[in-house]
Amino acid sequence: MKKRLPSTRVYIKDILEGFYVKSEGDFEPNYLITKDARKVYRAKIVGTVVREPIIAEDETYGKFQVDDGTGVIWVLGFRDDTRFVRLVKRGDIVQLIGKIAEWRDDKQILVEGVSKVDPNMWILHRYEALREKVEHIKKVRTAFEIYNTYGITAKAKVIAKNKGISEDMLTTIDELYGIIMEQKAEEAAFEEELFEEESTEVS
C-alpha cells in the first residue's frame, strides 16, 4: 500500500506565493515550495467557505472557495471526491486537507478530506501554523547560512547534520534558488524582447 505523504499546516498566502513543482517521474508526487523553503506535498488549512459550492451537472467535479484571512483559494473535488464538496455551504468554517495543484498559473487544492469546525479551531490552526512557521524559520536561517557558504557539498551536509538541519532542507533551498534564478532569467529575456520590439518600432 502506498504511504500517504504528510500534511503541512499553512496559510493560503503561503500557497499562493509559493512555487509549484511538477515532478518529472510518473510516480513521483508534485509539490509546492514556499518562499521560506518549506516543501509541501499536502496542505492543511482552516478557513471560511466564501462562495456556494458548484457541482457539474454530470457530477464529475465540484468546487468551492475558501478564505483564511491571508488569501482565497479554490478547492476542487473530482469524481468520488465531489462528496466533500457536498458537505459544505457558504459561511461554513472548515478544516480541509488536500494536494496542491496548479491550473493556468492559478494554485488550487484537490480536496482529500473536509470537516466543519467551530471558530476556536480556526484560532488554534492559525496559532499552530504560526508556531510551525517560526520553528521552521529558525532552522532555515541556519540552513541558508550553510548553503551560502558551502553550497550543497558533502561538507555542507555534515555541518547541517551537526546543527540539527536535515539534508532535505538544504536540497529544498538549492531547488528554491534554482527556481528563482530561472524566473529571473525568463523575466530578463522577456524585457530584452520588449526592448528590441520597441527599438524596431522607433526606427
CATH of the domain at 69: 2.40.50.140
The terminus-to-terminus CA distance of the chain in angstroms comes to 66
Does 44 fall in a domain?
A: yes
Does 67 fall in a domain?
A: yes
Q: What's the half-sphere exposure (Cβ side, CA atoms, 13 Å) at 131?
A: 6
Residue 198 reports pLDDT greater than 60: no
Residue ranges making up the domain that contains 93: 7-195
**Digit-coded pLDDT (tens) for 47-88:** 999 999 999 888 899 999 999 999 999 999 999 888 999 899
Does 203 fall in a domain?
A: no
Average pLDDT on 175-179 reads: 89
**Digit-coded pLDDT (tens) for 79-102:** 988 899 989 999 999 999 999 999
Does 2 fall in a domain?
A: no
Q: Are 44 and 7 in contact (CB under 8 A)?
A: yes
**Digit-coded pLDDT (tens) for 108-122:** 999 999 999 999 988
Does 200 fall in a domain?
A: no
Does 84 fall in a domain?
A: yes
Does 165 fall in a domain?
A: yes
In this predicted structure, what is the pLDDT of residue 62? 93
Does 47 fall in a domain?
A: yes
Strand partners, 109: 75, 100
Residue 194 reports pLDDT greater than 80: no
pTM confidence score? 0.82
Cell numbers found for residue 113: 478530506
- What lies within 8 Å, CB to CB, of 31 at 6+ separation is 20, 21, 23, 39, 40, 41, 100
Owner of C-alpha cell 496559510: 11
* Count of domains forming the chain: 1
Of how many residues is the chain composed?
203
